[in-house]
Amino acid sequence: MRHDDGTLAYRALMPDDVIACVETLGLQSDGRLLALNSYENRVYQVGQEDGPPVVAKIYRPGRWSDAAILEEHRFAAEAAAAEVPVVAPLVHEGRTLHIHGPFRFAVYPRRGGRAPELDDLEALTRIGRFVARLHAVGAAGRFAHRPPLGDVATGVAAHEWLLDEGVLPSHLRAAYESLCDDLFIAIRAAAGRAGPVRQLRLHGDFHPGNVLARDEQVHIVDLDDCGTGPAVQDLWMFLSGDRYEQEPQLAALLAGYTDFRAFDAAELNLVETLRTLRMLGYAAWLARRWDDPAFPAAFPWFGTPRYWEDHVLSLREQLALLQEPPLVWRGD
């Protein structure tokens, strides 16, 4: 597919644009739109005249190639065909990725629910089962156009970009640079302790907000960040609190996971590595997107001296955690 950059049109996206995209697929909107919680793409629930609402995702220009988006769609479709509760895009005339004017978009069935509670160990066990089943699908193929996940190079690139762009306050720059040098040493050491770990296709951004639970029914959404990495990438974001709170959560997740798939306990050495890389990447992501009007409105606290002071403090805490023993799983 060929398409124009469309950045200006994307930033000025209007409700009529979203409706026009959906209606090119033969769906008749009733004019009701609800913006859903998404910043990297624009995502709307769109009411239909004859049928339930659908969800339209308008892709941010320049972020993914068409080939990478189609790999995401195929992975979701493979998982859904294997009865993993992944919400896959609708197919229209044999296609899942569509173009209308400057916009690339996909349409999904709407699924309801709310994020699970992390102190509900039974819910975590069910989630562990779903993750294992998704990983069984992921292990059966490869991505050619999606990125590696959990790679220290991504953290290095994020911190170098922040330094090169002069985003940090001058009084924190030296401390941040020195701290990141120590973090990358600790991250590489943790990777050494983990040893070679199996890489597979993953959800990539699997956190409670991307799980919709209602009673016993669960739906997994938003594979926009899917990529290749270790299995623990799709588990660690369900761990919260100190290690004494996290270890029962981990045990519940892996009790469900290992019902369907083996788990390599060596990957637990990577939990704080992945958390640190996400923190570094998140700060750079916000800074890179700051010229998008949606970001200052949604994250008004970002970029203030207090934000950067807290960020450096959090990274210091991560350095200490990286030097502690990994979480203990007694099921291995």
Give 4-25 pLDDT, tens digit per residue. 467 888 988 999 999 999 999 9
Which pLDDT belongs to residue 301?
94
Residues marked as catalytic: 205, 222
**Does domain 121-322 match CATH 2.40.70.10?**
no
Alpha-carbon span 288 to 67, nearest angstrom: 23
Mean pLDDT split into 10-residue runs, the chain, 332 residues: 66 93 95 91 95 96 96 98 97 97 96 86 94 98 96 95 94 96 97 96 96 87 97 97 94 97 97 97 96 91 95 97 94 66
- The domain ranges of the chain are 7-109, 121-322
pTM: 0.94
Which pLDDT belongs to residue 332?
54
Which pLDDT belongs to residue 117?
82
**Does domain 7-109 match CATH 3.30.200.20?**
yes
